[in-house]
Amino acid sequence: MNIIPRILILFLFFFTSCEDLNTNNTNHQVNLKDIYGELEPLKERILTEEERDAMSPMKIVSSFIQGNQRFIKNNLTVRDHTKMIREAALGQTPKAVILTCSDSRIPVEDIFDKGIGDLIVIRISGNIISNEILADMEHACRELGTKVVVVMGHDNCRAIKSAIDKDKSGNLASITLKIKDVIENTKNILGPRNKQNSQFINAVIQNNIQNSIMEIRKESPILNDLEKNNRIKIVGAKYNMASGEVLFDI
Ligand SMILES: [Zn+2]
């Protein structure tokens, strides 16, 4: 190509680029759209109490399943956290209490694509139950109007493996002893009853989730009554570390 047309093309490219930059600088939304392309516009905000109360417990669980699908597909909702912090300062109307393990690989809000003010998250190794945890759940459901209690275990749980190993070192016994009965009651599993047997570990994890749910109903008449009156729903769930998927037991 001749040198003159080349200079002309470069000039035109420079001119149109400057024009684009000018347009973007005066229109923030156009700029974001150009940069991020497929990202959805901001749509999350803090729910009012009326909006939360209009949701049934099953609708909330359903929104968690949909949010988990967005998490798996790396399509989390874009949130204006600054705006949400300001809105949340006025009060909280959380949709659910999530009791899960303290494992660092479980980013609870992200897993369900939820934001500020959506969840009360209680974390302890092995997602076990204590009086303090029940008190938190009761406060959430009775005082704050939370409608769903989720007990979420996960595969490869260190607390479960330690309990199977009968590890009581340090203060760990306060957790492993709470899982002892679950392990003893996990039967009809092929192979050895140790942490080398993944089938046995998975069965204990599943039974431990159900045991926590049973303890909630048994040890908290408040939560038990709320569930019997269809004011709340108590459900089990299991988080898959490799896929990011949460399977609800409903
Ligand atoms: Zn764990």
Q: 53 near 145, Cβ under 8 Å?
A: yes
Q: Within this chain, do residues 63 and 174 fall inside the same structural domain, yes or no?
A: yes
| Candidate from 42-56, 135-149, 163-177, 196-210 with smallest mean pLDDT | 42-56
Q: Within this chain, do residues 96 and 183 fall inside the same structural domain, yes or no?
A: yes
Instruction: Give the CATH number of the domain where residue 132 resides.
Output: 3.40.1050.10
Distance 115 CA to ligand 1 centre (A): 23
Q: Within this chain, do residues 30 and 149 fall inside the same structural domain, yes or no?
A: no
Distance 121 CA to ligand 1 centre (A): 15
Q: Determine the structural domain holding residue 13 and report its residue range.
A: 3-36
Distance 127 CA to ligand 1 centre (A): 7
Distance 100 CA to ligand 1 centre (A): 8
Q: Within this chain, do residues 101 and 218 fall inside the same structural domain, yes or no?
A: yes
Residue 201 CA to residue 193 CA, distance in Å, equals 8
Q: Is 230 helix (H, G, I), strand (E, B) or coil?
A: coil
pLDDT digits (tens, 9 = 90+) for 8-27: 444 444 433 333 333 333 33
Residue 196 CA to residue 210 CA, distance in Å, equals 22
Residue 247 CA to residue 250 CA, distance in Å, equals 9
Nearest of 162, 64, 172, 75 to residue 121 by alpha carbon? 64
Four-residue CA torsion sign, 17, 23, 28, 33: negative
Nearest of 122, 110, 35, 33 to residue 79 by alpha carbon? 110
Q: What is the reported pTM?
A: 0.81
Distance 159 CA to ligand 1 centre (A): 5
Looking at the structure of the chain, the number of domains it has is 2
Q: What percentage of the chain reaches a pLDDT higher than 90?
A: 70
Q: Within this chain, do residues 126 and 22 fall inside the same structural domain, yes or no?
A: no
Q: Within this chain, do residues 171 and 199 fall inside the same structural domain, yes or no?
A: yes
